Amino acid sequence: MALWEPPNSSFPPPDWLPVRNIDLVIAAGRSEDESTENQPLIVVPDPLEELQRIDTELQRRPAAAGILVRLLRATAGVPLETALEMESLAYGTLLGGIDFKDWLRYRKRPSPSRTVPTDPLFLERSDDRLVITLNDPERHNAYSARMRDALVEALAVPLADDSISAVEITGAGRSLCSGADLGEFGSASDLAAAHLVRTQQHVGRALAALGERVHVRAHGACIGAGIEIPAFASRITAAPGTFFRLPELQMGLIPGAGGCVSIPRRIGRFRTLYMVLSGMTVRADRALRWGLIDTLED
């Protein structure tokens, strides 16, 4: 990582950095106009303050941060299947690490849900259009193993049926998806078996295979898996007030629902790294500028 403050208001030309050797540059400025997905340049009003905040997280979770940097480098340009395998192996390694175990020990236990939906999804087909609605609104559609398996099963239908030309995914209630079900974190007793489940029951793979047919409508909180998985879709539309966050580093982990693969392919590895290291909240307008979403509703 590097800190750079321009000597004047003129930024250097686009090829000013040997990007293969740098993962992140924090620069002083008020505009992101000079920052692109292909350069490690993040423009902030106060780079010293931002660097100090990121450095604090690096000191707290060095293993996860180091693995994330190496993974993002290694998976750039790698085929989707291979990249997903690499992410899952890295994620599984950190599940057995001391930082994640410490987080499990001291975390605030999530409150049990008062109501468990009978079905984790609503499916509605009209002619050639299939609408899939995540259905756990009380918990902001937390991404549980049950919901994952239901999504894999639901998406198998349009994968096998070419007469379905449009698949729309949305969420009931106030959010599309608030991320992984924290109550299930740390429950896997066999990390090798968990790796096989993650790679074989991967919703992102199905979304990528459906290509242009998939449209995700995002609203409210899209945290962790709530943006990692939608990022595989060909099109994401966000409602006003939608926000995105990748908080996994605080747990001693990296994005493990495909985000180390899907998000860099939308916004580049440098911005992805910045999202994770900073834990920043990305509002819908910035997500649109970065390419994390494709359309912002009026």
Q: Which tens digit of pLDDT belongs to each residue from 183-219?
A: 887 777 888 999 999 999 999 999 999 999 999 999 9
Say if residue 179 is exposed, middle or buried (CB neighbours under 10 Å; 0-12, 13-18, 19+).
Answer: buried
Report which residue type is found at 210.
L
| 298 band by pLDDT with thresholds 50, 70 and 90 | confident
- CA gap 196, 210 in Å, rounded: 22
pTM score, whole prediction: 0.89
What is the percent of the chain with per-residue pLDDT over 70, rounded to a whole number? 87
**Better-scored residue on pLDDT, 85 or 57:** 85
- CA gap 160, 180 in Å, rounded: 28
Helices (H), the chain: 47-60, 62-75, 80-95, 98-106, 145-160, 191-200, 203-210, 225-228, 259-262, 264-267, 269-278, 284-290
Q: In this predicted structure, what is the pLDDT of residue 188?
A: 77
- CA gap 159, 62 in Å, rounded: 40
What is the percent of the chain with per-residue pLDDT over 90, rounded to a whole number? 71
Beta bridge mates, 180: 143
